[in-house]
Amino acid sequence: MNTVRQLDRVVIRFAGDSGDGMQLTGDRFTAETAKLGNDLSTLPNFPAEIRAPAGTLPGVSSFQIHFADTDILTPGDAPGVLVAMNPAALKANLPDLPGGATIVVNSDEFTARNLKKVGYQANPLEDDSLEPYQVHAVPLTSLTIEALSNFDIGKNEAARAKNMFALGLISWLYSRPTDTTEAFISKKFAARPELAQANIAALRAGHAYGETTESFAVRYEVPPASLQPGTYRNITGNLALAYGIVAAGVRAKLPVFLGAYPITPASDILHELSRHKRFGVTTFQAEDEIAAVGAALGASYGGALGVTTSSGPGIALKSETISLAVSLELPLVIVDVQRAGPSTGLPTKTEQADLMMALYGRHGEAPIAVVAPCTPADCFDAAIEACRIAVTYRTPVMLLSDGYLANGSEPWRLPDVSALPDLTVEFASGPNHILDDGTEVFWPYKRDPETLARPWAVPGTPGLQHRIGGLEKRDGTGDISYDPANHDFMVRTRAARIDRIEVPDVVVEDPEGEADVLVLGWGSTYGPIGAACRALRQRGLHIAQAHLRHLNPMPANLAEVLAGYKRVVVPEMNLGQLSAVLRARFGVDVVAYNQVRGLPFTSQELETVLEEVVKNV
Amino acid sequence: MSDKLSLPIQPLKAKDFKSDQEVRWCPGCGDYAILAAVQSFLPELGMERERICFVSGIGCSSRFPYYLNTYGMHSIHGRAPAIATGLATSRPDLSVWVVTGDGDALSIGGNHLIHALRRNVNLKILLFNNRIYGLTKGQYSPTSETGKITKSTPYGSADAPFNPLSLVLGAEASFVARTLDSDRKHLQEVLRAAAVHQGSAFVEIYQNCPIFNDDAFEVLKSPESRDEALIRLVHGEPIVFGPEGRHCVVRNGWGLAVAETADVAESDIVVHDSTAADPSYAFALSRLSGDSLDHTPIGVFRSVRRDTYDSIVRQQVSDAQSDGAAEAELAGLLTGSDTWTIL
């Protein structure tokens, strides 16, 4: 009988070759953990190559999950457990492991040839290089093949089930159920029942191996977290964002038109939306990024909710069309799932270096609204907010997600659909102006006095025929105008229209109310910043945290908030873009903390940075 | 936004399609003739003005929408087919027209043109070809002859030009035609055929730029040369042209060639078939005219039925939609299959 030990939190990283099925293994472990009621956060990390040469360092794919009995904010800085399916996975991930961490390796893969491939002079399982860790060398491949000897499948197919064996073993080690994974396998291999049975057998064999072998003296339990009551599901940022767009279409009672060109890490939004035609969603895989945004704008002109999704390189190509949308004053939602740049950069790695492009990356004075989600689940609400601004103010809105949010996941408390914002819009239906001679006419650029939005007059509306274009327009009539004073007025009005967008005040979290230092973030840094703040407060230090969802316009109370602290620290995964904006707009000399490694901040590094500022203020 | 086209109560006239904007092309520009021809043709569509939308790019021709009392968008350089694709796909009740030029459609917007045609989106694309850049004041275009002396090519252009019709036929266009700005009757016949075509209709209109490339098509217009040069295509009729039908078109290897009618058997003269499934025939027709335009077919080269992108896409959406309450279905979508509840 094993000893069972209670833990409050665990970070596990599954790592293997790209072909080893580590993302699937991680997903399944996540699903079981969610069912058990732990709070969790995940971070996949995979190479840009579809299949890098097997067994090499560039081919290593990993999936990290952090789960706990309390609510958590990040996928965890350092894994306490590493499952390494080959020497490359061990070598690539070892530097991230703290001393004392548990390592489970597939010893079958530690052959002379595989060791040489990744530059190991000696077998690390046989020398003392892994002494600081608790190593469990398990011949996962041969055990799996043996367990499946009675199945009528080839040896290679049997060997491929080793990820399920590993999942079974780790599920046993952390007392996770496996029944929903069994159901999942049956469904996935429905066309080949013998393969389904074999994978289930491998999963069970891994579980039984943990139970019977003496190698594992202790198993662990992590009790459920006490989360807010409600129904939950696990969700990635890209999925939540796609659902947000579907929901916005339903709540606006508008058909959604997505124009997109495939690009990492945004393509999954196109894939997802292409499945939801029953909600009136049309997806158009365009010939290029420019056509994608052009078609979305054309659809908006026709009265649909036009959306385009991409990443940095694609957004750069869309820039001219976004400026046209600024001039036409039509709704358009542009999703930028940021990745590490410039150019192709690190396509599968995260960064938030497109902020300046979102704010300023167009010709002429072309302001647009910019909104950023802060967690994977928050992508749902942020997408609805972006659509709300677009249809209410007839403007392009940039939604700035990133690779970390896109592929990361967390539990999501399902919203009450009827309580989502009502985005109903009214199209123009008749004349809106009376000339001096009493004639009733339609003026396409006569604005709503509150929002400064112009009427959305869709083709097909009788009597409202009008022409719009990229040339400067006379205020009101929309006729072409080269008048200098009119251009000055229109440029200022387009800017005022964005500045007037109503956005909620930024909320400061400062439990004791005694902080001198404010840490201000935006986007996906919310998790690690929040975790660092909690850690500091637990140690008796005072720090205030605020996070910007609206990057343009910024909340009305921001100037006051910034002025209320002796120091403002702004951590960003870029070289200081928000910092530069804050200095320029508010004259605040913020402390910028920046890294661009293609990875999210660890809460540990932020804790160190913030502690330094707090203690020296 | 119903699918049905309803007829206006009062028959419309050309003047009903004139907007209140002052037309600002250079005196003598071929665009005036095209505008007048289009304005007097549009009533024939039998549609209300609000159901018609013209989308253009950038260039002299792209000012066109401002002068029509329909819906219109003057967009950005080369992108009109992309923008119109979004509009036409989401709005089957509209008649969507694209007005473009040789630089707009074939240079900066080449990609959008070929893909719109490949998809067969229900758009009518009018390409005004004057073989020069007008709005930017006189640089050579992708249809200018090799060796052309222009502002940007003082030593002569080194570019080989596109043959626009060969290009669009290669892009799987289902309707391809050519006409002249100065021949209103012919122009309107071609527009009529394009308007009733289901899918993308591509019409090249030879258009004179009196400022930067005057008389580029004079060989097709001057009474001395036009009869020798113009080949008027009529579906189902033998292709003969020239004074007293002196010349004709015959098969020649993989392609077509011009021959003297007197020298060939009547059965060797090609009978024009715009409905030929294989585009090779229309392609061969497009190759008859070289840079010098000495044998230039005009009329409908090709007109075949093929499913349109927009109707397929709309069908997929309408097949998937049910009468159920969208909000109830939305809750189901968000919930998915793997949930847990915390009490």
For chain B, domains (ranges, CATH) are 14-216 (3.40.50.970)
Q: Which amino acid is present at A321?
A: T
Alpha-carbon distance B73 to nearest alpha carbon in chain A (angstroms): 5
Give the Cα separation of A62 and A88 in Å (integer): 11
**pLDDT tens digits for range A122-178:** 999 999 999 999 999 999 999 999 999 999 999 999 999 999 999 999 999 999 999
The residues, ordered by sequence, that sit 6+ positions from A610 with a Cβ below 8 Å of its Cβ are A517, A519, A532, A533, A536, A543, A569
Query: Does the pLDDT at position A213 exceed 70?
Result: yes
Q: A315-334: per-residue pLDDT in tens?
A: 999 999 999 999 999 999 99
Compare all CA atoms of chain A with the CA of B328 and give the residue at the minimum distance. Answer: A417
pLDDT of residue B5: 47
Q: A592: which residues sit within 8 A by CB, 6+ positions away?
A: A570, A572, A576, A579
Pairing of strands A305-310, A332-338: parallel
Helix (H, G, I), strand (E, B) or coil at A87: helix
Q: What's the pLDDT at A460?
A: 98
Count of all residues that appear for chain B in the document: 343
Supply A604's token pair: 């540990």
Backbone angles phi, psi at B312, to 5 degrees: -65, -45
Residues from chain A contacting residue B341 (CB–CB below 8 Å): 230-232
Tens digits of per-residue pLDDT, B286-327? 999 988 899 999 999 999 999 999 999 999 999 998 776 787
Q: Which A residues, 314 through 353, put their C-beta within 8 Å of a C-beta on chain B?
A: 320-321, 324, 328
- A460/B1 CB distance under 8 A: yes
pLDDT digits (tens, 9 = 90+) for B44-68: 999 999 999 999 999 999 999 999 9
CA-to-CA dists, residue B294 to B29, B228, B229, B289, angstroms: 23, 8, 5, 6
Domain boundaries defined on chain A: 3-221, 233-419, 426-502, 508-616
Say yes or no to pLDDT of A81 above 50: yes
SS (H, E, C) B211-246: CCECCCCHHHHCCCCHHHHEEECCCCCECEECHHHC
pLDDT at B10: 75
Same fold? A233-419, A508-616: yes
Q: What digits encode the pLDDT tens for the residues B112-157?
A: 999 999 999 999 999 999 999 999 999 999 999 999 999 999 999 9
Task: Give pLDDT tens digits for B2-25.
Answer: 344 455 567 899 999 999 999 999
Rounded Cα distance, A199 and A63, in Å? 20
Residue whose tokens read 């690539």: A92
Instruction: Please tell me the distance from the alpha carbon of residue A553 to that of residue A367, in angstroms, as a whole number.
Output: 9
Quickly name the fold that domain A508-616 has: Rossmann fold (3.40.50)
Contact B70 A465 (CB under 8 A): yes
Q: Give the span between the Cα atoms of A468 and B76, in whole angstroms.
A: 12
CA distances from A89 to A84, A415, B10 (A): 5, 39, 77
CATH class of the A3-221 domain in this structure? alpha beta
Query: Is the CB of residue A316 less than 8 Å from the CB of residue A565?
Result: no
**Sign of the CA dihedral A290, A291, A296, A298?**
positive
* Nearest Cα residue in chain B from A422: B327
Whether B341 and A231 have beta carbons less than 8 Å apart is answered as yes
- At position A606, the amino acid (one-letter code) is L
∠A192-A197-A199 over CA atoms, to 5°?
95
Q: How far apart are CA B145 and CA B159, in angstroms?
A: 8
pLDDT in tens, A544-563: 999 999 999 999 999 999 99
Mean pLDDT, to the nearest integer, of A3-15? 94
Does residue B301 sit in helix, strand or coil? strand
Name residues whose C-beta falls within 8 Å of residue A34's C-beta, 6 or more positions apart in sequence: A40, A232, A233, A234, A411, B338, B340
Coil, strand or helix at B254: coil
CB nearest B330 (choices: A279, A286, A462):
A279
**pLDDT score of B328 more than 90:** no
Question: Residue A357 CB: number of other CB atoms within 10 A?
Answer: 19
Instruction: Determine contact: A597 vs chain B, CB below 8 A.
Output: no
**What letter represents residue A472's amino acid?**
E
Cβ(B187)–Cβ(B44) below 8 Å: no
Provide the pLDDT confidence category of residue A1 given band limits of 50, 70 and 90. Answer: low
Separation of alpha carbons B46 and B52, rounded Å = 11
Residue A19 has a pLDDT of: 87
Written as six digits, the tokens of A245 are 């767009």
* Nearest-CA distance B309 → chain A (Å): 10
Q: Residue range A489-509: average pLDDT? A: 98
Burial A175-202 (b: 16+ CB within 10 A, else e): ebebebbbebbeeebeeeeebbbbbbbb
Strand partners, B260: B247
Instruction: Name the residue of chain A whose CA is nearest to B68's CA.
Output: A467
| Chain segment A403-442, per-residue pLDDT in tens | 999 999 999 999 999 999 999 999 999 999 999 999 999 9
> CA-to-CA distance for A386 and A244, rounded, in angstroms?
10
Surface of B (300-339) touching A: CB under 8 A = 313-314, 316-317, 319-322, 326-331, 333-336, 338-339
Option in A250, A282, A298 nearest B327 (CB): A250
pLDDT recorded at residue B1:
38
Query: What percentage of residues in chain B have a pLDDT greater than 90?
Result: 92
Taking a C-beta distance cutoff of 8 angstroms, is the pair A59, A89 a contact? no
Q: Is the pLDDT of residue A105 over 60?
A: yes
Is A306 in CB contact (< 8 Å) with chain B? Answer: yes
Residue at A337: amino acid letter: V
CB spacing of B82 vs A31 below 8 angstroms: no
Contacts of B88 (CB under 8 A, 6+ apart): A298, B94, B96, B121, B122, B123, B310
Query: What tokens were used for A583?
Result: 């200095």
How close B22 comes to chain A (CA, Å)? 10
Assigned fold of A233-419: Rossmann fold (3.40.50)
Q: Tell me how far the alpha carbon of residue A65 is from its chain's centroid.
A: 15
Q: What's the token pair of residue B108?
A: 């900066």
Task: Supply the mean pLDDT for chain A.
Answer: 96
Kindly give the residue spans of alpha helices, DSSP state H, lying in B287-325: 309-320
Residues of chain B numbered 34-93 and touching chain A (CB < 8 Å) = 48-51, 53, 55, 58, 65-66, 68-76, 79, 82-91, 93
pLDDT of residue B8: 57
